Structure 1
Amino acid sequence: MVHSKQLLTGLFSLLLLSMTSCQDRGKKKGDEKPTEKEPKTEMVKAPEGIISLVNSKLIYDNYTENRVGIIEEYERRTRQSPEFKVARFVDFDYKTIRQYLDYVDQEAKKAGVEKVTKLRIYFANYPDEEVFGDKKVVHPKQNTVFLVPTLYQDGQNYGFFIGADGKAELVKNVVGAKGQGMGSTHSDQTQSYAGFAPNFSAAPPNPYQGGGSLTLNGGNSGPPPPGDY
């Protein structure tokens, strides 16, 4: 009796082993599921600066009421063009902005910048010329913006670029009012901030020769597109 039980147990084990082997042979290469779990993507929190559409409409209308009329009156008078419309936005290609941020991080790291602190957006205005730098101006005297990354130094955030030696240099040291940065005293700073405008007719020698500018321009501006605000 005991011998019969041992024989049955052995046959049952052999049957299970045979079934398992058949299943393994039936699986194709690559069918095995990975045992490691894929890492979960961390959710991005909304920045503190996000505002509601109601508030964005409010400040947009404030600009319409307090700025647009003054600008249009001035431009129509100086251009002698009654059809002039004020530009209400400047946009950049989304992919360009992503590339720009990656480029700034890359160059800042190579230059030994510990941390890029801010992305400063300057308001600007193209000259009344057909060509600016090496690019054709679509609309002379058109308003525009340019972007400058900043670093923290001596209690302030300063725009920076990459000097000829590969190190970070402060923008204020080469393009400030009268070539003296943004001023060394409070009164100097006030005058510099108020009068910080490029002189296109007497541009200084290029201080960036051999280095690398991190200033981004080239956005497209115009009146509000249909459906927005």
Structure 2
Amino acid sequence: MTTKMTNFFLLLLLANLMLVSCQDPSAHTELPYEGPPKDHIISVERAQEMFDAYSQRRLPIIKKYEDSIASDGSKFEPTRYAEYDLKTIKQYIAYIEHEAMQANVDINTLRFYLSNYPNSDKFPNGDVVKYPRRNSFFVVPTMDYEGKNVGFSIEEMDGKYTAVPINRGASAQEGKQNKNQTDSTGQMNEAGFFMSNNTMVQGGGTTSLILNEGTVSPPPSSIDFGNNN
């Protein structure tokens, strides 16, 4: 191989190495297909049984209570499901993985909290309540913290992304004392300050990772396992 040809291949190799090094290490990549998740897929028959059990054991109680407190005499229809389009779910996964990587923390699980929209047109901060009185859920990513699996958000502390537990029950004074106590991984050493508001990005540098605001039904109704009775 001539010297000219050798130099050409060396330049080509150098260019490829530079291209790889410039790629965003936090970019989300989909996992390779490995079949269904083990022990997590249920049959249609089991889903139907569980759906029917909820219809028989929970719906009547919810309807009776909500109807009893409705001052206008309106009839309440309990939520049967909430849904997101697939693009939103993929975007959410990419988002929380990116934020977790910035804070150098591993996501353990996604925790689904059952919830209820308030019986109001607006939240205290002025945001519109999308589904007043309706049942819903929100999703919280979790991490390891002091031997426990806890939900977390991201805070910027001294210019550094830090994963902090959502449930922080210490006093405000303890919070001021512990705010700067972070280890080399960017995780908190002490859960010592009040939980911040769960807006997307706040003036204090808090980033929420909580997913909500899907579409709940009914109405409109498109139930896969039967009617709402």
Normalising by structure 1, report the TM-score: 0.64
Number of the residue aligned with 2:165 = 170
Equivalent position to 2:133, from 115, 127, 141: 141
Structure 1 segments, 4+ long, off by >6 Å, are none
| Pairwise CA RMSD | 2.5
Equivalent position to 1:44, from 26, 34, 50: 34
1:212 maps to 2:204:
no
* SS in structure 1 at match of 2:152: strand
1:92 maps to 2:84:
yes
Shift of 1:135: 3.1
Matched residues, percent identical?
A: 34
Provide the C-alpha distance between the structure 2 equivalents of 1:43 and 1:217, rounded to a whole number of angstroms.
27
Shift of 1:134: 4.9
Structure 1 pair 128/97, CA: closer, same or farther in 2 (3 Å)? same
Shift of 1:45: 1.6
Provide the C-alpha distance between the structure 1 equivalents of 2:144 and 2:34, rounded to a whole number of angstroms.
25
Match for 2:36: what amino acid?
A: A
Q: In 1, are the aligned partners of 2:145 and 2:165 still within 8 Å (CA)? A: no
Q: In 1, are the aligned partners of 2:196 and 2:206 still within 8 Å (CA)? A: no
Provide the C-alpha distance between the structure 1 equivalents of 2:196 and 2:32, rounded to a whole number of angstroms.
48
* Paired residues for 1:43-192 under 5 Å: 43-47=33-37, 48-80=39-71, 81-113=73-105, 115-132=106-123, 133-165=125-157, 166-173=161-168
Structure 1 pair 226/91, CA: closer, same or farther in 2 (3 Å)? closer
Shift of 1:205: 6.5
Equivalent position to 1:222, from 200, 214, 217: 217
Q: In 1, are the aligned partners of 2:117 and 2:133 still within 8 Å (CA)? A: yes
Provide the C-alpha distance between the structure 2 equivalents of 1:154 and 1:46, rounded to a whole number of angstroms.
32
Count, aligned residues = 161
Provide the C-alpha distance between the structure 1 equivalents of 2:196 and 2:210, rounded to a whole number of angstroms.
17
* SS in structure 2 at match of 1:76: helix
Number of the residue aligned with 1:197 = none
Unaligned residue ranges in structure 1 (runs of 5+): 1-40, 181-203
Provide the C-alpha distance between the structure 2 equivalents of 1:93 and 1:43, rounded to a whole number of angstroms.
20
Structure 1 pair 83/66, CA: closer, same or farther in 2 (3 Å)? same
Unaligned residue ranges in structure 2 (runs of 5+): 1-30, 175-194
* Greater Cα radius of gyration, structure 1 or 2: 1
Q: Name the structure with the higher helix share.
A: 1
Match for 2:143: what amino acid?
A: L
